[in-house]
Structure 1
Amino acid sequence: MATKVEQTTNEVLHFIGNFGASEKPKPIDNKRKLLRRQSTVRDLRWNVKISGFAQKTHNPIRAIVDGLTIVPNPEKKMIALSIGDPTTFGNLLPANEILDAMKKVIDDKNFNGYAPSVGFIEAREAVAEYSAHQGVIKEISAKDVILCSGCSCALDLCIAAIANEGQNILIPKPGFSIYRTLAEGFGIECRSYNLIPEQGWEIDLDHLEELIDENTAAIIVTNPSNPCGSVFSKQHILDILEIAERHYVPIIADEIYEHFVFPGNEYFSMASLSKNVPILSCGGTTKRFLVPGWRLGWIIVHDRHGAFSEVRQGLLNLSARILGPNSLVQGALPAILKNTPQKFYDELVETLQNHANIAYSMLKEIPGLTPIMPQGAMYMMVLLDMKNFPEFHDELDFVQSLVAEQSVFCLPGKCFDIDDFIRIVLTVPKEMIIEACERIQEFCENHYRPPKIDEEIDDLATNFIKITDF
Structure 2
Amino acid sequence: METKTSYLSDYVQQIKPSGIRKFFDLAATMEGVISLGVGEPDFVTAWNVREASILSLEQGYTAYTANAGLYELREEISRYLDQRFGLNYSPDSELIVTVGASQALDLAVRAIMNPGEEMLIPEPCFVAYESLVTLTGAKPVPIQTTAEKGFKASAADFEAALTDKTKALLLCSPSNPTGSVYSKEELESIAAFAEKHDIIVLADEIYAELTYDEPFTSMGAIRGMKERTILISGFSKAFAMTGWRLGFTAAPPVIRDAMLKIHQHAMMCAPSMAQYAALEGLKNGQEDVERMKKSYRRRRNLIVETLNEIGLGCHHPGGAFYAFPSIQSTGMSSEEFAEQLLLEEKVAVVPGNVFGPSGEGYIRCSYATSIEQIQEALVRIKRFVEKRA
TM-score scaled by structure 1? 0.77
| Partners of 2:23 and 2:339 within 8 A in 1 | no
Give the one of 223, 229, 239 matched to 1:274.
223
- CA–CA distance in structure 2, aligned partners of residues 329 and 406 of structure 1: 38
Amino acid at match of 2:384: F
- CA–CA distance in structure 2, aligned partners of residues 313 and 72 of structure 1: 42
Residue of structure 2 equivalent to 1:114? 64
Structure 2 residue runs without a partner (length 5+): none
- CA–CA distance in structure 2, aligned partners of residues 323 and 73 of structure 1: 37
| Partners of 2:78 and 2:88 within 8 A in 1 | no
Residues 137 and 112 (structure 1), Cα distance of their counterparts in 2 relative to 1, 3 Å cut: closer
Q: CA deviation at 1:116?
A: 2.2
1:400 corresponds to 2:339: yes
Structure 1 residue runs without a partner (length 5+): 1-43, 449-470
| Partners of 1:59 and 1:178 within 8 A in 2 | no
Residues 138 and 356 (structure 1), Cα distance of their counterparts in 2 relative to 1, 3 Å cut: closer
Residue of structure 1 equivalent to 2:314? 371
Q: CA deviation at 1:195?
A: 2.7
Secondary structure at the aligned position of 2:137 is classed as: coil
- CA–CA distance in structure 1, aligned partners of residues 338 and 376 of structure 2: 17
1:100 corresponds to 2:80: no
Amino acid at match of 1:379: Y
Amino acid at match of 1:335: E
| Partners of 1:73 and 1:403 within 8 A in 2 | no
- Kindly provide the CA deviation profile for residues 327-371 of structure 1, in whole angstroms up to 9, marking residues without a partner as x: 11123332221121x32121111111111111122111113x101
Give the one of 341, 346, 361 matched to 2:290.
346
Residue of structure 1 equivalent to 2:41? 86
Residue of structure 2 equivalent to 1:334? 279
- Kindly provide the CA deviation profile for residues 188-215 of structure 1, in whole angstroms up to 9, marking residues without a partner as x: 1111113332233322332211112221
- Structural RMSD (CA): 2.4
Q: Between the two proteins, what is the percent identity of the paired residues?
A: 26
| Partners of 1:136 and 1:273 within 8 A in 2 | no
- CA–CA distance in structure 2, aligned partners of residues 139 and 119 of structure 1: 15
Amino acid at match of 1:268: T
**What are the equivalent positions in structure 2 for 1:257-272 lying under 5 Å apart?**
257-262=207-212, 264-272=213-221
**What are the equivalent positions in structure 2 for 1:34-433 lying under 5 Å apart?**
49-62=7-20, 66=22, 70=26, 77-87=32-42, 92-109=43-60, 111-136=61-86, 138-262=88-212, 264-276=213-225, 278-301=228-251, 303=252, 309=254, 311-321=255-265, 322-340=267-285, 342-367=286-311, 369-386=312-329, 389-390=330-331, 392=332, 394-417=333-356, 418-433=359-374
- Kindly provide the CA deviation profile for residues 273-321 of structure 1, in whole angstroms up to 9, marking residues without a partner as x: 13145111011111111011111111101x3xxxx62x33311210112
- CA–CA distance in structure 2, aligned partners of residues 314 and 351 of structure 1: 40
- Bigger mean CA deviation after superposition, 121-130 or 403-412: 121-130
| Partners of 2:179 and 2:318 within 8 A in 1 | yes
Q: CA deviation at 1:67?
A: 8.5
Residues 329 and 212 (structure 1), Cα distance of their counterparts in 2 relative to 1, 3 Å cut: same
Q: CA deviation at 1:113?
A: 0.9
